[in-house]
Amino acid sequence: MKYNFHTHSHHDDGKEPLEDFVKEAVEKGLQAIGFTGHSPLPFSNEWSLPKETYPDYLAEVRRLKEQYKDVIDVYMGLEIDYIPGYSDNFRNFLNGAGLDYCIGSVHLVMKPGSNECSDIWFIDGPREGYLKGIDRLFDGDARAAAEAFFEQSREMVATQRPHIIGHLDKVNMHNKGDLFNPSEEWYQKAVHRLLEAVAAAGTIVELNTRGVYSGKTDAFFPATPILQKCFEYDIPVMVNTDAHHPSQVDKLFDEGVQLLKDIGYRKMTTPFFEVEI
Ligand SMILES: [Zn+2]
Ligand SMILES: [Zn+2]
């Protein structure tokens, strides 16, 4: 049984209309599809839902939910960025729009102790910006930067309680083994603190396949040793493809499921149902 609860359309930084994703999902035999445009942000950028067209996104998902209700379950969600002092409370997004669920993600790391918009480190996008951010905001200390990412993620889980945590170790994507070593003790401690919060909040960890099929990483998010820790701590997991195009609705889904099985998982948990594997 397939599903995908992490998708981006032309409303934010993906391609093609929402309905094309639904059609493709039906064609590929998915039982459910959830839409998670990037939450509107209080400053201009090229990838989140613009405030002005956010209502159109919501209206379109509601329309598709109704239109396809006998064919596939459509869920209305958001991938909400957590930026201390900047992002709106997740409950306001959920209640304000009547969302079915949300993914909490950190793409923008606030320099600890600051609340200036200019002190935000963007971990996604081109690698050049990632490297420049470490130099400018963390004096070149990649360890401090990665620790800030995990601490902000921990705070997000503890205070905002999203249903799902998105690409839990994305901070490692542009590292490429150059700047820090994820097998070092400080890194594992930072991950451990985050997983403790995840376990306490009952948050679902997604195995996100996008890094691999987009050619940016060799491993899924999060890396296998972290997924093994999730299994040890009895943390619920699911597979998402973070599709930015309809053709990606089930990209490497089966491979992700296989990895979870190899680790020992016998079921996947979505915000709405469980799937035996
Ligand atoms: Zn994301
Ligand atoms: Zn995403």
Map out the domains of the chain as residue ranges. Answer: 2-276
Find the ligand nearest to 7 CA. Answer: 2
Separation of 62 CA from ligand 2 center, angstroms? 20
Asked if residues 109 and 120 have their Cβ atoms less than 8 Å apart, the reply is yes
Separation of 65 CA from ligand 1 center, angstroms? 23
How is residue 242 written in tokens?
Answer: 């973070």
Taking alpha carbons only, the member of 255, 190, 252, 260 closest to residue 224 is: 260
So what's the pLDDT on residue 44?
87
| 3.20.20.80, 3.30.70.100, 3.40.50.10140, 3.20.20.140: CATH of 2-276 | 3.20.20.140
Separation of 217 CA from ligand 1 center, angstroms? 14
Per residue in 172-185, pLDDT tens? Answer: 999 999 999 999 99
Separation of 79 CA from ligand 1 center, angstroms? 7
The helix/strand count (H/E) of the chain reads as 9, 11
Asked if residues 25 and 249 have their Cβ atoms less than 8 Å apart, the reply is yes
Find the ligand nearest to 108 CA. Answer: 1
Which helix (H) or strand (E) is 204 found in, with range?
strand 204-208
Task: Please list the ranges in the chain whose pLDDT falls under 70.
Answer: none
So what's the pLDDT on residue 58?
98
Asked if residues 204 and 237 have their Cβ atoms less than 8 Å apart, the reply is yes
CA distances 77 to 65, 119, 127, Å, are 12, 28, 28
- Convert 76-115 to b/e letters by CB count within 10 Å (16 or more is b): bbbbbbbbeebbbebeebbeebebbbbbbbbbbbbbeeee
Separation of 124 CA from ligand 2 center, angstroms? 11
Taking alpha carbons only, the member of 230, 228, 275 closest to residue 253 is: 275
- Does residue 225 sit in helix, strand or coil? helix
Q: What is the mean pLDDT of the chain?
A: 97
pTM assigned to the model = 0.98
Separation of 63 CA from ligand 1 center, angstroms? 25
